[in-house]
Amino acid sequence: METWRTPGELLGRSSQYTSGRGTYVWNNKIYSSVVGVERVSQPPPSAQEKTPSIEVIGEKQHGAVPEPGLVITGKVGKVMAKSALIDIVCVGSRAVKEKFSGIVRQQDVRATEIDKVEMYNCFRPGDIIKAEVLSLGDARSYYLTTAKNELGVVSATSVAGAKMVPVSWQEMMCPLTNQNEPRKVAKVV
């Protein structure tokens, strides 16, 4: 499994490892100097230095890219009768550097009672959602789904401008007005 590191993060002691690419040594401790994946490699048998080398391989320039099966975090841009347009901001825990768009279609909002789904009762512009990438979709957007319990709206702002709190899987409440608003709420895991 990949271990992501950020600048200044402690990787180990200089007595345990040889400092490699993307790292620096300070007070006999090795730290990451870039954002990237930690890699430890054993020295070749002929090497005089017998400690393993630790390095941090920098993140590629394009950043994270959505792929089918991955969970994204996005911001709802526009809600229409049969779909919602999403601006993808993160893939997993990694931010995207390019602009990616997604669509949650009416049939992909939830697993049951698909014919009863009203998009405006599930999402509103500005909501932050978690969704899974279904497919690459068309040339403009990825197809996304919120059909699993842990997917859906994770953060929303009420009409009064307050951060709403979930009260059920289909409602969030404004703490200022105590008014409930419909949403497809993500179950907190």
pLDDT tens-digit series, residues 122-170: 999 999 999 999 988 777 789 999 999 999 999 999 888 899 999 998 9
Q: Range(s) for CATH 2.40.50.100 in the chain?
A: 4-58
Query: What pLDDT digit, counting tens, does each position of 78-88 carry?
Result: 999 999 999 99
Q: Mind listing the pLDDT tens digit for each residue in 49-74?
A: 788 999 988 765 446 788 899 999 99
Tell me: the pLDDT tens digits for 6-47? 888 999 999 999 998 889 999 999 998 888 889 998 887 777
Q: Which CATH architecture best describes the domain 71-182? A: Beta Barrel (2.40)
Residue ranges matching CATH 2.40.50.140 in the chain: 71-182
What is the C-alpha to C-alpha distance for residues 69 and 64, in angstroms, rounded to an integer? 14
CA distances 20 to 30, 31, 43, 48, 52, Å, are 9, 10, 12, 16, 10
* Fold adopted by 4-58: OB fold (Dihydrolipoamide Acetyltransferase, E2P) (2.40.50)
Q: What is the pLDDT of residue 105?
A: 94
What is the band of 174 on the pLDDT scale with cuts at 50, 70, 90? very high
Interatomic CA distance for residues 51 and 53, integer angstroms: 7
Residue-level pLDDT at 61: 46
Give strand pairing partners of 187: none
Beta-ladder partners of 185: 153
